[in-house]
Structure 1
Amino acid sequence: MSTTDTSTGRRDPDGFPTEPGPPRRGVGDAIRGWWNGLARPMQWLVGVPLIALIAILPVWRPPLLDTPGTDFGGVMAQFAMYALIAVGLNVVVGQAGLLDLGYVGFYAVGAYTVALLTSPNSPWNKMTADGFFSTDWAWLSCLPIAVAITAFTGLILGTPTLRLRGDYLAIVTLGFGEIVRLLADNLTDVTNGGQGLAEIAYPRIGVSEDKPFGVFSAGNSAGDINSGVWWYWVGMVLVIAVLLIVGNLERSRVGRAWVAIREDEDAAEIMGVPTFKFKLWAFTIGASIGGLSGALYAGQVQFINPTGFNVINSMLFLCAVVIGGQGNKLGVIVGAFIIVYLPNRAMSIEVGGQSLGDYKYLFFGLALVVLMIFRPQGLFPARQKLLTYGRQVYQAVRPSAAADATTPADRR
């Protein structure tokens, strides 16, 4: 039986390694291996300074990263919001394998929940008008309400629709996103229609003579530490909290069930995994994170209308997950940064009197085509640990199986 030499060792005609050689390790594998080799206290010792460095980026404004066409602090605040969205959508698409094209609907529900409860233009404004909560902390008070309502919306939507799979589920979720937008546009007595809801509550902190409405006000646009920087810090705190929660879920039996459903739902169900229950878990958790990001958006811009929740934004959210790498939490955050940063960076570049930032959808479309051809798993594909020791197990079992298969005549 002939074998051939490869860069990873000798292989038999079936392609299995007979004499393993040095494995191929890219930069991502080397970093992942180094990080996994650190003890948990050492990971915190390395991770906390890294997080602090990321936190001071909008204050430091590195020349290579700064956006001349727009405020860098505002860009980073938008990135934090998109990162939160990408992490939530990654639970649905990357972990459980459920194609959701209407994730913007949950984003809109969270934003409108805060707006309806705090905007003077809303007939449901009870948080600030009647004094149920302090006006200075109304936004923070509405945050858990927005998360709960959005999670309940995901539960209501997912219960009848998660029996569907593939393209059928994608069409249903796409319809849900459009229904939410159309309701916001047509229920003028409640949502004020296309005119939107203004003066949405935000944290009233840091009120002074030069900042009469606080540091989080949209009017705080002067100086290096403007409202965008403050909202970026709030967004990063929420992203870290969500990453810790989602990471613990991934390492639990819930995460293992999600991976099994994503790889082969029929096989997972045969092996005893209650697939519908865990899909509903993923859908509800993803919806709640989408509502959290919507609440962050409402407080940040302090004005919302239905045009900000169209299907194009839903596609951009999905692009962040696909470009970064489905199933990889840190990868989708990088994808969110690419989606937000590149168009804002290109706004200062003009070709033929037209800003390159106006062609962002063209560039993203081309990037997705190229990515699907050369790297279909994204820039940072998820490396599942279920088969970490697969090669070692195969090498340990194969010699004994070969010895059992030999006949006594062969042994002589």
Structure 2
Amino acid sequence: MNSAPSNPVVSVAEPVDRRAWLVLALLVASTFLNYFDRQILSVVKPMIKGEFGLTDSHYSLLVSVFMAAYVVMYPIGGRLVDTYGSRRCMLVFVSVWSLATVFTGFAGGLAHLVICRVVLGLAEPGNYPAALRASALWFSPARRGFATSMFSAGSAIGAIVAPPLIAWIAVKHGWRAAFLIPGAAGAIWLVAWWFIYRDPAVVAPAVGAGAAVAPVARPAWGEIMRSRVLWGLVLARLISDPVWYFLLFWFPGYVQERMGLSIGQAGAVGWIPFLVADVGGIGAAAFSDRLVRRGMAPTRARITVLFGVACLAPLAMALGFLTAHLALTIAIFSVLAFVCTTWLFTMAALIADAAPRAAIGTVHGISGAFGATGGLIFNACIGPVVDRTGYVPVFIVAGGLHLLAS
């Protein structure tokens, strides 16, 4: 991964306004809902396959159309955020993806599922540039790694809570209820966001906010696309993000279909890798903040952490040979999930450090789109490969991508 130019070193952590922590809590909640809603399909996959007569290739199609829409909307969402701000954009994004989740509960077949997944894919990616922009405005560089890791941790929290809760709802009330109930929860978040969130310059000059300064002109597309910083981030995410998407969309079904667990048993253990990922990713991002406070340039601190955890990823290559060892399988999945979240959390902080403040959403959107493109390509191969040869080739590739991205 190419090193981005270093910003001035920040060695002292500034105090943070209390409102910033409330904003951060809302960002964690939105990211939680974002990942929870997209995870529902992977948990109830065996039920839906059975009811509609679908194969793994059909499921791969559902993931692929979601990812294709995600790729298209990620850079557009980022530009919209830089143009209209986090407040207005998040109201639209969360409303649309919540409705898409609810309508999935009324699906009558593959075509209906495809439409709902496309709409979900169009709405969900905008959450990330909007959240990153908000955290960059409210938190200084010496706190930014922790702040971005916390709101990003909402994704892993969603992945932690999703398997047991969705499994319980599906067993008790059917798979359709597993979409209807979580989708409706988005309305509660929307009310809170409407009343609470404002940019710091709108509220007042916030103590410790990262950007309570005069507005900055937004760079043109051409200027952004010529940036070496952007293309270093793009290549890193193109190569590394597919592993996270693989974990999200295939892990719950894998432990049910390949290791013989029931949906309830899968729910009982499926949260473990994501809990490890959450705690570990936050810790790694906080460690990069500590390096910054001790005098290391922010970009160098982030890249040091990225390379260090990437060295753990090759453990995943053993997964295809451990179908009789549940505990060891969960442990290795946990390590791989930790690597993924550390990269996601720390890359977000790296973008906030290195990108122009007026283009944070756009840069994050473009890099996220390329990451989702990698996920789309990888996923499109997984279904046919699994149908023909099993998971061994998939795990071998997944275990090497983070080191390659480094």
TM-score band w.r.t. shorter chain: 0.3 to 0.5
What TM-score does the superposition give when structure 1 sets the normalisation length?
0.32
> Which protein is richer in helix relative to its size?
2
> Which protein is richer in strand relative to its size?
1
Q: Which structure carries more relative contact order (alpha carbon 8 Å, separation 6+)?
A: 2
